[in-house]
Amino acid sequence: MADYHKWIREYDTLTDADRRLMQARIAQLKLRPLISIIMPVYNVSERWLRRAIESVRQQLYPHWELCIADDHSTKRHIRRVLEEYAQADSRIKVGFRPERGHISAASNTALALATGDFVAFLDHDDELAPHALYLVAEEINAHPDAELIYSDEDKIDTAGVRFEPHFKSDWNPDLFYSINFISHLAIYRAARVKHLGGLRRGFEGSQDYDLALRVIEQIPETSIRHIPHVLYHWRAISGSVALGFNEKQYAHERARQALRAHLERGGKQARVEADFSIYHRFVYPVRTPAPLVSLIVGTRDRVELLCQTVVSVLAQTDYAPLELIIVNNQSREPETLAYLDEIKQDARVRVVDYDAPFNFSALNNLGVGQAQGEIVGLINNDIKLISSGWLREMVSHALRSEIGAVGAKLYYADSLIQHAGVVLGIGGVAGHAHKYQSRRDRGYMGRAQLLQNFSAVTGACLITRREVYREVGGFDETNLPIAFNDVDFCLRVRARGYRILWTPYAELYHLESASRGLDTTPEQRARFQRECAFMQLRWGDALSQDPYYNPNLTLKAENFALAFPPRAAQPWRELAADGASRDADVHSTR
């Protein structure tokens, strides 16, 4: 909490200079859309109602209208306050419903008052940041085809103290199916919302989730935009979900109802389950008959580790058909060689020799080249399974045409997290999300427990379609023989238009580098530095602009801590600086 208060003071408190720059920028905007703010009201405290309305009136961007619908409130102050504001500001429109209809009906009454190009939704006790609509207008000018825009948010208590910021991912479809991160602040193109009939009755409590699901079905992903600034303050008071997710249990079932309806409309073969508190899980089927999976394991001696992995795959994994391709990298110990001869007797096992210095990329490329399966999996020889369904879970996602690679949740021997997805930019290239957190930790905003998209996953346990592996040319065995080859592979897969998916429902132990050891010699450290430099050369700014990791979060650690300073763009300052630079250039040429 103290860190966030410091972060607000240093990076999220508007100065007079900021306000002047924003106002000057607003005057320069080519597009100045009218934004209609939809606010249903019912029996809210006068204090919070006034705070919500005043937060709109204090917007630096003046091109708005506030459309309020009172849902037949019984508290007398509601009509008095609303009529007062409607008389004081012509941009405030008020409708009074003759009967109680609940939040969807009241929102639609407010929507009927709207004449704007875009609509935004504000709860009757929450607040907008003063620069919220300005940054929305900036986003619309930068992306005129935007259909759906959402921002970061935090919570605010009764004393006006802000806490628990939610710094969100850019558009992350699989995470969105696990949790509605669009609300709040959510802004939609008005014509789209009205075409869909507004908010639907029967989904109260998750009517915003249902609307978002219906909208994303009709628009390209490129028209979904994320503003990485805290523009919405969610009031944490008794009865509000902001205070506790258990406040409105019915809302979570309504959310799953909306998700099921979304699947039905899209003809998607999956089922929705409740999972880990208030979250949701999509379970995808594996077709019948199931495809052959070829698992590639590179190994050098350490027979006790290899035996453990082989048993995990052949005896404890609840999946068939599969084949195990062991790439033997110069094993010398008699026990290992005897074990390799023994397991070759199993028709599901083949042993391929790689007689050259260790090269993780080359080992896996050789193994995939020998694979017969439609699905190929790379697993280290220091993997031990936790549950038998790990492979079925991963294959179910690898079979989805939009998914290019699937990663698992991996733990150290003490059950602390070793891998829960890869974040670009940490340490200069990439790091593992939620590293060293406990197995049952929610992680940042639940992300240690939720199915989601990442920019990359580790090659210690990676499943993909063989055609995708070949399409991108496999691992780069020339430039990345040891480190970051999995990250590079995933980035090339993403460049082909596929998504990378991480699932927490495939859990395994990974005794990291147990067989090969860590990089400790001068030669190994020098090789690692070369691989870091190559990644930075090949991928450049992409390594510091991970779309699935918010620029307000640190690149110095793997724990989703706040960034000091943040990397989020500040267009009002940047454009002013560009203008000053151009003026200086003009003067210098006179």
Q: Is the pLDDT of residue 460 over 60?
A: yes
- Which pLDDT score, from 0 to 100, does residue 133 have? 98
Q: What gap in Å lies between CA 304 and CA 327, rounded to an integer?
A: 16
Give the CATH number of the domain where residue 338 resides. 3.90.550.10
Decide which of 243, 273, 303 is a domain's last residue.
Answer: 243
Decide if 584 is inside a domain.
no
Q: Is the pLDDT of residue 573 over 80?
A: yes
- How deeply is 29 buried, as exposed, middle or buried, from its count of CB atoms within 10 A (0-12, 13-18, 19+)? middle
Q: Is the pTM of this model over 0.75?
A: yes
- Which pLDDT score, from 0 to 100, does residue 516 have? 47
The domain tally of the chain equals: 2
Strands annotated E in 122-243:
127-128, 148-156, 162-166, 186-189, 224-235
Cβ neighbors of 321 (< 8 A, separation 6 or more) are 290, 292, 293
Instruction: Convert the pLDDT of each residue in 135-153 to its tens digit.
Output: 999 999 999 999 999 999 9
Decide if 540 is inside a domain.
yes
Q: 314 and 180: one domain?
A: no
Q: What gap in Å lies between CA 534 and CA 227, rounded to an integer?
A: 31
Q: Is the pLDDT of residue 374 over 90?
A: yes
Q: Which two tokens stand for residue 451?
A: 């199915």
Least reliable range by pLDDT among 8-12, 13-17, 204-208, 249-253: 249-253
Instruction: Convert the pLDDT of each residue in 405-440 to its tens digit.
Output: 999 999 999 999 999 999 999 999 999 999 999 999
* Distance (Å) of CA 384 to CA 1, 376, 379, 418, 463: 38, 18, 10, 13, 16
Decide if 69 is inside a domain.
yes
Cβ–Cβ < 8 Å for 224, 216: yes
Helices 132-142 + 16-28 axis angle, to 10 = 40
Cβ neighbors of 397 (< 8 A, separation 6 or more) are 284, 403, 406, 463, 501, 503
**DSSP H helical segments within 217-318, as ranges?**
249-266, 303-314
User: What is the mean pLDDT of the segment spanning 254-274?
Assistant: 95
Q: What gap in Å lies between CA 69 and CA 207, rounded to an integer?
A: 16
Cβ neighbors of 154 (< 8 A, separation 6 or more) are 4, 162, 163, 164, 165, 166, 230, 232, 233, 234
Q: 307 and 219: one domain?
A: no
Decide if 590 is inside a domain.
no
DSSP-assigned states of every residue in 543-562: GG--TTS-TTB-SS-SS-PB
Instruction: Convert the pLDDT of each residue in 539-564 to its tens digit.
Output: 999 999 999 999 999 999 999 999 99
Q: 227 and 322: one domain?
A: no
Q: Is the pLDDT of residue 579 over 70?
A: no
Q: Is the pLDDT of residue 580 over 90?
A: no
Cβ neighbors of 342 (< 8 A, separation 6 or more) are none
Q: 38 and 172: one domain?
A: yes
Q: Is the pLDDT of residue 239 over 80?
A: no
User: What is the mean pLDDT of the segment spanning 106-133?
Assistant: 98
Q: Is the pLDDT of residue 584 over 60?
A: no
Q: 239 and 297: one domain?
A: no
Q: Is the pLDDT of residue 241 over 70?
A: no
Q: Is the pLDDT of residue 581 over 60?
A: no
User: What is the mean pLDDT of the segment spanning 371-397?
Assistant: 97
Q: Would the CA dihedral through 376, 381, 382, 385 be positive or negative?
A: positive
Q: Is the pLDDT of residue 211 over 80?
A: yes
Task: Find the distance separating the first CA and the last CA of the chain, reported in whole Å.
Answer: 53
DSSP 30: S
Q: 232 and 319: one domain?
A: no
Q: 313 and 191: one domain?
A: no
Q: Name residue, tokens 């630079």.
A: 581
- Which pLDDT score, from 0 to 100, does residue 551 have? 98
Q: Is the pLDDT of residue 39 over 70?
A: yes
Q: Is the pLDDT of residue 583 over 60?
A: no
Instruction: Convert the pLDDT of each residue in 18-34 to its tens digit.
Output: 999 999 999 999 999 99
Decide which of 526, 544, 562 is a domain's last residue.
Answer: 544
Confidence of residue 585 (pLDDT cuts 50, 70, 90): low
**DSSP H helical segments within 316-430, as ranges?**
334-343, 360-370, 390-398
- Which pLDDT score, from 0 to 100, does residue 521 have? 82
* Distance (Å) of CA 557 to CA 29, 409, 429, 562, 563: 38, 19, 12, 10, 10
3-class SS at 493? helix
Q: What gap in Å lies between CA 196 and CA 216, rounded to an integer?
A: 12
Average pLDDT, the chain: 94
Cβ neighbors of 246 (< 8 A, separation 6 or more) are 278
Among residues of the chain, what percentage have pLDDT more than 90? 91
Q: What gap in Å lies between CA 199 and CA 206, rounded to an integer?
A: 10
CA 521 from centroid of its chain's CA atoms: 37
CA angle 352, 461, 388 (to 5 degrees): 100
- Which pLDDT score, from 0 to 100, does residue 20 have? 98
Q: Which two tokens stand for residue 23?
A: 């106002």
- Which pLDDT score, from 0 to 100, does residue 523 have? 87
Q: Which two tokens stand for residue 85?
A: 């504001």
The parent domain of residue 193 ranges over 2-8+30-243
Decide if 53 is inside a domain.
yes
User: What is the mean pLDDT of the segment spanning 184-189?
Assistant: 97
Instruction: Convert the pLDDT of each residue in 477-534 to its tens digit.
Output: 999 999 999 999 999 999 999 999 999 999 999 986 544 455 668 888 999 999 999 9
Q: 367 and 435: one domain?
A: yes
Q: 309 and 402: one domain?
A: yes
Confidence of residue 237 (pLDDT cuts 50, 70, 90): confident
Decide if 397 is inside a domain.
yes
Q: 157 and 306: one domain?
A: no
Cβ–Cβ < 8 Å for 355, 369: no
Decide if 191 is inside a domain.
yes
Q: What gap in Å lies between CA 395 and CA 19, rounded to an integer?
A: 52
Instruction: Convert the pLDDT of each residue in 289-340 to its tens digit.
Output: 999 999 999 999 999 999 999 999 999 999 999 999 999 999 999 999 999 9
Cβ neighbors of 589 (< 8 A, separation 6 or more) are none
Decide if 572 is inside a domain.
no
Q: 83 and 174: one domain?
A: yes
Decide which of 243, 261, 279 is a domain's last residue.
Answer: 243
Q: 223 and 331: one domain?
A: no
Residue 340, CB-side half-sphere exposure with 13 Å CA sphere: 24
